[in-house]
């Protein structure tokens, strides 16, 4: 069992939850996630980690109420002990395989919306601790749903904002805003990493492909809000499990259109769980190694 230390409500139907989990906190790397079972009868929920406090042995989670299990975590303050939590799960971010000196010199752009801001915050704070920096583009339907803007402004070199209704920042899509940035600035990014809704990540993937910029996309939010904990991705000639062999993949290879068409379908049977979300094979367009790995 895992004790809930605190709960905050940064936006409607969304909770920021701090949990005492020293073993998991000591092992977590950027890009990984945890599975939480709030009560005995509920399902496990895959959640992005937004913060780790090694000294206190706590991890910060972001959860959105979309079904019974997630609603228990968001709306029921009497649940101060989670039945179970497992992790860390998934492969760490590509960034963790790179030399610190290379990370300090490289230019990164993170694009995040929805629960994806948690993963972006975790990775950017990790970069800061080793002397690196990043720009971030935050996307939301409105100002009230633009999460953790103040925190990003403290740790990022540049913070760009885009809202669907124009209540703050740029009024328009993520690609429209990217198109307004200086061309040299955009082409200067060594890696674009995106987290959030599938439609937004598709826009980022298409933009990166068209401009020849390496890009990765994280799918923890899809695992969390849809319960698709067993779906597979066809990456090139391979079929990969998003939960165990991801959750980040080469954004330019994902067939987002097919993923979007299936995103409203819950995986409730073994047959459904075996269905794959297709990924297009882009010959000669693999992510490759934009940064050198540690020996």
pLDDT per residue, tens digit, the chain (295 aa), is: 899 999 999 999 999 999 999 999 999 999 999 999 999 999 999 999 999 999 999 999 999 998 899 999 999 989 999 999 999 999 999 899 999 999 999 999 999 999 999 999 999 999 999 999 999 999 999 999 999 999 999 999 999 999 999 999 999 889 999 999 998 999 999 999 999 998 999 999 999 999 999 999 998 887 776 665 566 666 666 777 778 888 999 988 888 877 777 665 543 333 343 344 444 433 333 333 334 333 2
Residue 219 · residue 249 · CB < 8 Å? yes
Give φ, ψ of 167 to 5 degrees: -70, -20
Domains of the chain and CATH, by start: 2-89 (2.40.30.10), 94-277 (3.40.50.80)
Q: Which residues of 253-271 are buried (b: 16+ CB within 10 A; e: fewer)?
A: bbbbeebeebbeeebeeee
Task: For residues 91 and 280, give the distance between their C-alpha atoms in angstroms, rounded to a whole number.
Answer: 21
Neighbours of 134 (CB within 10 A): 25
Residue 231 and residue 244 in contact, taking contact as beta carbons nearer than 8 Å = no
d(CA 206, CA 215): 10
Phi, psi dihedral angles at 149 (to 5 degrees): -55, -45
Provide the 8-state DSSP code for 172. Answer: S
Cα(28)–Cα(282) distance, integer angstroms = 32
* Cα separation of the two ends of the chain: 39
Confidence (pTM) = 0.87
Cβ-based neighbours of 242, under 8 Å, separated by 6 or more = 219, 222, 223, 228, 231, 232, 233, 249, 277
């Amino acid at each position: 069992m895992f004790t809930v230390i605190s709960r905050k409500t940064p936006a409607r139907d969304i909770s920021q939850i701090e949990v005492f989990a020293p073993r998991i906190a000591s092992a977590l790397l950027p890009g990984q996630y945890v599975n939480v079972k709030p009560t005995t009868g509920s399902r496990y929920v895959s959640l992005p980690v937004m913060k780790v406090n090694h000294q206190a042995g706590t991890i910060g989670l972001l959860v959105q109420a979309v079904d019974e299990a997630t609603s228990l975590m968001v709306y029921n303050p009497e649940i101060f002990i989670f039945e179970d939590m497992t992790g860390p799960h998934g492969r760490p971010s590509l960034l963790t395989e790179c030399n610190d000196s290379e990370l300090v010199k490289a230019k990164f752009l993170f694009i995040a919306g929805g629960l994806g801001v948690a993963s972006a915050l975790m990775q950017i704070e990790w970069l800061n601790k080793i002397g690196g920096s990043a720009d971030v583009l935050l996307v939301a339907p409105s100002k009230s749903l633009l999460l953790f803007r103040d925190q990003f402004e403290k740790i990022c070199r540049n913070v760009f904002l885009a809202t669907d209704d124009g209540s703050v920042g740029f009024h328009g899509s993520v690609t429209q805003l990217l198109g307004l940035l200086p061309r040299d600035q955009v082409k200067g990014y060594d890696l674009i990493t995106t987290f959030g809704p599938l439609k937004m990540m598709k826009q980022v993937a298409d933009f990166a492909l068209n401009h020849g910029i390496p890009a990765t996309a994280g799918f923890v939010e899809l695992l969390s809000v849809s319960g698709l904990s067993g779906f597979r991705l066809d990456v090139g000639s391979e079929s990969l499990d998003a939960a165990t062999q991801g959750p980040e993949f080469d954004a330019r290879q994902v067939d987002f259109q097919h993923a979007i068409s299936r995103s409203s379908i819950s995986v409730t049977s073994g047959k459904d769980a075996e269905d794959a979300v297709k990924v297009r094979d882009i010959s000669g367009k693999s992510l490759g190694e934009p940064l050198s790995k540690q020996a």
